[in-house]
A and B are shown apart, each in its own frame.
Chain A
Amino acid sequence: MIAPDDGAAPAEAARAPRSTGAGFGRVLVTVYGVLAFAALGRSGYEFMVKFTDAPVAYSLSGAAALVYVLATFALALGAHPLWRRLAWIAVGVEAVGVLVVGSASLANPDVFGESTVWSLFGQGYGYVPLVLPFVGLWWLWRTRGPAAHGKEPAV
């Protein structure tokens, strides 16, 4: 199953599920990759150096990092339905995670003991963690095919 390699062709979008890793998807995968790398680095550092200071916060950052890594690979390999499903789950978890953790940290700054990737809606990362999952969900929706939903898209 080869998807057309042009992410900017709206007219052909309806035919088959397109690869989530081509066209604009490559930008998405790049940003996801950078964030995954940053979160993984931060988390690895926290686990090695100061995990006992705030186990909840650092575990949360670790979980966020794993979700970003998963989302990066799932989006890059999104041509396959299984990867696409995994991408939906990973990006969905992210969207919920950043909203829940962001709200919780806003309501009570000390709730997790230390700041996490998602604290204050990802302020420490220029709010990229807040925007990215919704762009990701839009992109997954945008590149879906009729097969994924069992009916003709309303485009």
Chain B
Amino acid sequence: MLLPLLVLLIALCVALGGWAAWFVVRDRAVILNQLWGGAVVEGVLIAQAITAAIRGATHEPPSDPLLFWGYMATALIILPIAAAWAFAERTRWSSVVLLVAALTVAFLDYRLWQIWTAA
């Protein structure tokens, strides 16, 4: 796992979460531009998964591959669910869901880093 990607992803998650929090305060539902933002986060996450897979295969695998890929799968699935929710729930609560989703992805990515670097 590459440190720059981790920093970038957490920064993007915090930005997306802040945007969603602002919408919660303003009593607004998630808008399409926020979902594009979520797609960018998901893209970085996928890039992370690919680089981790390549590094794991060519250099050193994660300390606990099963745990690592379990967390990765969880992280990958969260934003698509939040996006589906955003279409189904056209109230401010979709913004709360997006906020929770963004923070969860940031936390999971941090955990991924911990698992990756654990001796």
Contact = CB atoms under 8 A, between A and B. Distances in A.
B100 A31 contact: yes
Nearest to A48: B66
Given A27-B100, A31-B100, A37 B91 contact: no
Interface residues of B, number: 23
Interface in A70-122: none
A26 B88 contact: yes
Contacts, number: 51
B70 A45 contact: yes
B81 A23 contact: no
B47 interface: no
B89 to A, nearest CB: 5
Contacts of A45: 66-67, 70
Nearest to A24: B93
Size range of the chain A interface in the assembly: 20 to 34
A24 B93 CA distance: 6
13 contacts: A5-B91, A7-B93, A8-B91, A26-B85, A26-B93, A27-B93, A27-B100, A30-B82, A30-B100, A33-B81, A34-B104, A41-B71, A41-B74
